[in-house]
């Protein structure tokens, strides 16, 4: 086994926030499930990652019950790892690198929420650690990003109405440009499937 699929933060915490109505792909679980099925057929390791902020009182606080995979996801209890992180990337506050080393993994396929935040940060760290990274861009999702001068308490409607807001599609596009040729190979789910070396 030399490859692993890392599913990052595809969790109910995001759906519990009003901002979910502006998520770039509310059906991200469908694409993630496709990648998971491909990984299983290829015999790749599947690792599920959840973001946790204990004691924060927010949607990422495990005490509130939202720190769990989106209900549409199909995780197997046997052999598929589930880890919790408290940093943006999936390495710094977890034993992910140790687990990957134990399984002989050198290539990573990444997907999840949010495109430019936890998924991109994980891709950059993974690349620096020597992994070959494939960033499956259409199996990621994100939100519009407010301008740095926008009020912290603005509503979703105000966020979307503000001409300074960076649209989610532009966030994804910029992430592709930032990662491609430097930290990761950019691919779509269809491209991953087309290139998959699957048993007959």
Q: Which of 182, 106, 171 is nearest to 142 (CA)?
A: 171
The answer to whether residues 134 and 184 touch, using CB atoms and an 8 Å cutoff, is yes
Q: What kind and span of H or E run contains 81?
A: strand 81-85
CA-CA distance, 31 to 153, in Å (whole number)?
32
Assigned token pair, 8: 């990052």
Backbone angles phi, psi at 120, to 5 degrees: -65, -45
The answer to whether residues 183 and 28 touch, using CB atoms and an 8 Å cutoff, is no
Q: Which of 60, 48, 53, 47 is nearest to 15 (CA)?
A: 60
Which residues are known to be catalytic?
118
SS (H, E, C) 90-128: CCCCCCHHHHHHHCCCCEEEEEEECHHHHHHHHHHHHHH
């Amino acid at each position: 086994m030399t490859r692993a699929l890392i599913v990052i933060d595809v969790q109910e915490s995001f759906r519990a926030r009003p901002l979910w109505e502006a998520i770039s792909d509310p059906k991200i679980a469908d694409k993630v499930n496709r990648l998971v099925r491909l990984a299983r057929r290829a015999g790749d390791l599947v690792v599920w990652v959840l973001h946790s902020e204990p004691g924060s009182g927010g949607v990422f606080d495990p005490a509130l019950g939202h720190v769990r995979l989106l209900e549409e996801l199909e995780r197997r209890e046997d052999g598929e790892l589930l880890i919790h992180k408290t940093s943006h990337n999936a390495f710094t506050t977890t034993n992910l690198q140790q687990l990957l080393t134990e399984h002989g993994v050198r290539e990573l396929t990444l997907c999840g929420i949010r495109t430019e935040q936890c998924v991109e940060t994980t891709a950059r760290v993974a690349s620096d650690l020597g992994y070959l990274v494939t960033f499956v861009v259409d199996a990621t999702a994100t939100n519009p990003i407010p301008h740095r001068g926008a009020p912290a308490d603005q509503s979703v409607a105000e966020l979307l109405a503000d001409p300074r807001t960076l649209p989610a599609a532009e966030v994804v596009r910029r992430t592709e440009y930032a990662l491609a040729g430097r930290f990761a190979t950019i691919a779509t789910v269809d491209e991953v499937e087309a290139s998959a070396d699957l048993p007959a």
